[in-house]
Amino acid sequence: MRALILLVSAMAVAAPIAAQPMIPVPSQTAQGDIAVTIYNNNRALIEDKRQLDLPAGRSRQEFRDVSAQIEPATVTLNGRGIGIVEQNFDFDLLSPAALMQKAVGQTVTLVRTNPATGAETRERAHILAVNGGVVMQIGDRIEVLRDDGIPARVIFDKVPETLRPRPTLSVTLNADGGGRRPVTLTYLTPGLGWAADYVALFDEANGRMDVQGWITLTNTSGTPYVNASTLLVAGAVGNAGGGYDRYNRGYPPPPPPPPPDGIYRPGTETAGRERLGDFYLYPLPERTTIADKQTKQVSFLDVSNTPAARGYEFHNGWLSTADQAQSVYSVLRFSSSRAQGLGDALPAGIIRVYQRDARGNPQFVGEHRIGHTPMGSEIGLATGQAFDIKVRSIVEERTRMSSSRWRTRMRYTLTNASPKPVTVDLFQGGLWGDTRIVDESLKSDRLSADETRWRVAVPANGEASVTATFDTRH
């Protein structure tokens, strides 16, 4: 027991825990009152109001806890009574190698440990050169560091001021007087983006739909934003010359927002949302901490019982024969208008559609991406292919009329194995040039030079067919 006490006290002596005035308290965030404005294209504007203790006159201030991917060229610092002398973004990083390089010509402490006894010897060494290995002078001897493989600690007296643990933004400024004052730091950063995610529960029997909208924001910027007031802008701000990604850690950026899709008719109504220029704004209702590598979702839309209907579409690209009947697309049609729809503008995102099964449990029945959709739009989303409704296109006859003129007779057979009658919008594309329909079994609408459409009613558990003769000139 005595031996144990002795041993413990010996160890305590060997490892003196001295009072260390130079060691500061563990870090907290240096961020102040922070406001984050996030755009769709993986870009954000950060506004950080900090309280700085400034001496009168010129001083250099470092800003910690800014985005690890900060675009330094976009930094602005504002405050009453201060003038900017210069702004620096230092990325000379503190590392063992950099520490040794900067110690050339200086003296360090070398603590050698005897491998057999564990005894330590302490010497001062003058670093002569760091080229491939460390050459140093100890007394009147010239040695290479750890050339003999014997354990040796190198203790540096100080860290050069220019070396930093992380890339650091510093501003040299002129203050008109000393004291604590608020300053506002603003900058742009990539690594923050957002999109919308919608959950649509479709009640096919009653032609109704419940829709919830969630804002999904993602932070891959390498820095948390503590207790931030967050504003989301539905739109992509211009990004001249591409993204600036100094601190990219191998993360792919979120994909760019897709082109508008599935909108039959863009709306002309103004949504009751906050606006800024061309963009709608979606402020988050409460301050929130956006942690690094976090995906955060906040509700922004909750609409019940909006009218919705199921439609069917089939697009045939060219006058060709299909080997097998092909399923038509099942299309969910609804409106974003105030009078008969969701009554809101829809920011770009993915709409996931659910339907209840025979036991009443919601099941996923497909999803579709939409672009920014104005209020009042007519929307049709292809959520999947219908198992029971198919179209087969067949070239029945192709006749050469002259060297540049052909006649093609097409037959489209539409089959419906479901117990309800359906109407299929049958599109024939590839008519660009001078292609006319000279004969058809059902009246078509020529939607454009390239495309025509038949609206074909197919009876329950039945079949319908359309024939048409196309006159093509080349």
Partner 1 sequence: MRALALLMALGVAAQAGAQAIVTSPAPDRLAVTVYRDPDRGLEPLNLEWLGGYALVSETRRVSLPPGESELRFEGVTSGIVPQSAIVTGLGEAVLEKNRDARLLSPGALLDASLGERLTLRRTSRATGAVRTQDAIVRATADGIVLQTADGFEALRCTGLSETLVAPHVPPGLSAKPTLSVRVRSPQAVTRDVTLSYITNNFDWQADYVGDLSEDGRTLKLFAWLTLANGDDTGLADAATQAVAGKLNRERVWVSRGEAKPIVLNCWPSGTTSDIATDVMPVSLMSQESIVVTGSRIAAPPPPPPPAPERGGDVMAEQERLGDVRLYRIPISVTVAARSQKQVALLKQPSVKVEGVLRLRTYGGPIDQPLERVLITRNRTAEGLGLPLPAGKLALFSTRQGRRVLLGEGRIDDHTIGEKVEISVATATRVWARQTMFSSQDGGGLELTLTNDLPAAQTVEIELPLTAKTGGTRLVKRDGWMLWRVRVPANGTAQLRYRV
Nearest-angstrom CA–CA distance, 375 and 360: 32
State the Cα–Cα distance between residues 236 and 333, nearest whole angstrom: 27
Nearer to partner 1, 121 or 418 (CB): 418
Tokens representing 463 are 């079949």
Task: Write the CB contacts of 30 (distance below 8 Å, at least 6 apart in sequence).
Answer: 50, 63, 64, 65
Q: How far is CA 3 from the centre of its chain?
A: 62
CB of 58 to partner 1, least distance (A): 27
Q: Give whichever of 330 and 377 is closer to partner 1, judged by the CB atom.
A: 330
Residue whose CB is less far from partner 1, 4 or 23: 23
Q: Could you tell me the smallest distance in angstroms from the CB atom of residue 78 to partner 1?
A: 28
CB of 28 to partner 1, least distance (A): 10
**Residue burial 232-266, b: 16+ Cβ < 10 Å; e: rest:** bbbbbeeeeeeebbebbeeeebbeebeeeebbeeb
Residue 38 Cβ vs partner 1, minimum distance, rounded to whole Å: 14
Long-range contacts of 123-131 (CB under 8 A, 24+ apart): 125/154, 127/100, 127/103, 128/104, 129/104, 130/97, 130/100, 130/101, 130/103, 130/104
Question: How many C-beta neighbours within 10 Å does residue 305 have?
Answer: 11
Question: Which lies closer to partner 1 via its Cβ, residue 53 or residue 397?
Answer: 397
Distance CA 13, CA 16 (A): 6
Instruction: Please give the single-letter amino acid code of residue 455.
Output: R
Could you tell me the smallest distance in angstroms from the CB atom of residue 388 to partner 1? 5
Compute the least distance from the CB of residue 207 to partner 1, in Å.
Answer: 13
DSSP state of 375: B
State which residue, 184 or 326, has the beta carbon closest to partner 1.
Answer: 326
* Residue 113 or 239 having the CB closest to partner 1: 113
Distance in angstroms (rounded) separating the CA atoms of residues 145 and 55: 44
Rounded CA separation 320/373 (Å): 35
Least gap, CB of 184 to partner 1 (angstroms)? 25
Bridge partner list, 440: 468
Q: Shortest approach of partner 1 to residue 361 CB, angstroms?
A: 7
Q: Are 354 and 362 in contact (CB under 8 A)?
A: yes
Which residue, 86 or 286, has its beta carbon nearer to partner 1? Answer: 286
CB closer to partner 1 out of 89 and 156: 156
Which secondary structure element, helix H or strand E, spans residue 200, and what is its range? Answer: strand 192-203
